[in-house]
Amino acid sequence: MLIALLLAFSHPNPQPPPDLPASVYRERRERVMKELGGCATAIAAQGAAPPGPVSEFRQDDDFYWLTGVNEPDAWLVLFPKAKYRRQVLFLKPRDPELERWTGPRDPISPALKEKYGVDYVVRGNGGNALLGAPPLHDCLAILAPADTLKDERNDVQAPRQAAGALGLKLVYKRDLLTRLREAHGPEEIALMEQAIAATRAGHEAAARATVAGVSERDVQTQMEFGFFSAGATGLSYGPIVGSGENGAVLHWGKNSRILRDGDVVVIDSAAEYGRYAADVTRTYPVSGKFSEEQAKVYRAVYQAQEDIFAAIKPGVAMVDLQEVAEQSLKRAGYLEKFIHGFGHFMGLNVHDVGFGSQPLPAGAIITVEPGIYLPERGFGVRIEDEVLILPNGKWRLLTADFPRKLEDVEAWVARARR
């Protein structure tokens, strides 16, 4: 019996994503330095490991985008006017005892400098290096994005203190990384397309698994196996599997209810590939067919998507598309049941950085995810897709391989369950 089970089991064999070339990170840093007006700057790693004795450190998005370094307590210091050491990476000192628990770290060497594409690698606190900015640099820039009114970050305090100690001008460039990261390069788009492909495999498993008598958690595990079997390197976010009334809860996370005949199941879950996220939502009928009321709501959500797609033109901003979504659902009579934004930016984070009130640049990737939530009727509907903004106001649907129309979703469910 065991041999038969093993033979029937599909063994996933995911391949780790290739590292982006060091030249990609170097070019990003050069773009930053061109925007600094000759000021020196520093930015420090802000990542963290989740609680628990065995957990992997995850670098914050800005520092990772600039360096590809996935270590805590690292600093990047940029000296645009320096002759040789313009890009300097500071890493924390090695700890042989700690490395027995967490794994060995690379020694400082020419190979490590080449690995990260910097001019110099050294161990220590990079904030102190700003004291060496004069005489070539007469100003220091704060690059760390503003998240709150409190400036407690070490890479905000360091340039402020150094500027005060040296009598240098302090310049604020706190929206620079958001502007540069908003539009993705081809290497980033390729990774996100891989994440979407893995997500497609997981959603096909979900279409097959959403049958009466199983739990939301059962659907989740089948879907996640589909992600990882297709090469996912992680999950973009905690999976949402909301059946029946749970589908009217936007971020339902318990995934504990048993699916019943007549339910629809809102599944908002996606794979990650090489640190880049996907984000897809589909609504599946447990019986294989939507009821008349469910179909009416589904078609209103689908039409809202269509109206948003049609409004993507040169100069359009996220705030404009939000208005389109609201007007579409108002015409359908469901505006009060639409309780969130129509979409968000995608990238290294599932809710990535971008400017909602400025025209969408070519290279930006956004979600389009209208939804209608009817807790009093015991269900909700959301459809979420990803769109790549192209030059001249054109766009491409990155999730075009996912069935989206009501009839196509029903046909997909039927095929998956054969």
Residue ranges per structural domain of the chain? 22-181, 186-416
pLDDT of 157 over the 90 cut = yes
Residue 304 token pair: 């809202």
pLDDT of 244 over the 80 cut = yes
Q: What pLDDT does residue 49 have?
A: 81
| Mean per-residue pLDDT, 145-166 | 93
For 197-222, write each residue's pLDDT tens digit: 999 999 999 999 999 999 999 999 99
Residue 356 token pair: 């909602």
pLDDT confidence tier of residue 13, bands split at 50, 70 and 90: low
Q: Tell me the pLDDT of the chain averaged across its residues.
A: 95
Q: What pLDDT does residue 30 have?
A: 98
| Mean per-residue pLDDT, 330-335 | 98
Residue 147 exposed, middle or buried by CB count within 10 Å (0-12, 13-18, 19+): exposed
For 67-105, write each residue's pLDDT tens digit: 999 999 999 999 999 999 999 999 999 999 999 988 999
| Mean per-residue pLDDT, 365-386 | 98
pLDDT confidence tier of residue 51, bands split at 50, 70 and 90: confident
Q: What pLDDT does residue 148 have?
A: 79
Percent of the chain with pLDDT over 70: 96
Topology of 22-181 in CATH?
Answer: Creatine Amidinohydrolase; Chain A, domain 1 (3.40.350)
Q: What pLDDT does residue 273 have?
A: 96
For 250-304, write each residue's pLDDT tens digit: 999 999 999 999 999 999 999 999 999 999 999 999 999 999 999 999 999 999 9
Q: What pLDDT does residue 15 have?
A: 67
- Report the SS3 class of residue 329: helix
Percent of the chain with pLDDT over 90: 90
pLDDT of 52 over the 90 cut = no
| Mean per-residue pLDDT, 12-35 | 88
Q: Write down the pTM of the prediction.
A: 0.94
Whole-angstrom Cα distance, residue 193 to residue 397?
11
Whole-angstrom Cα distance, residue 91 to residue 129?
13
Topology of 186-416 in CATH?
Answer: Creatine Amidinohydrolase (3.90.230)
Give the CA count within 13 Å in the CB-facing half-sphere of 277: 22
Tell me, what DSSP letter sits at residue 248?
G
Interior/surface letters 345-361, b for 16+ CB within 10 angstroms, e for the rest: bbbbbbebbbbeeeebe
Whole-angstrom Cα distance, residue 231 to residue 77?
35
Q: What pLDDT does residue 388 have?
A: 98
Q: What pLDDT does residue 348 have?
A: 97
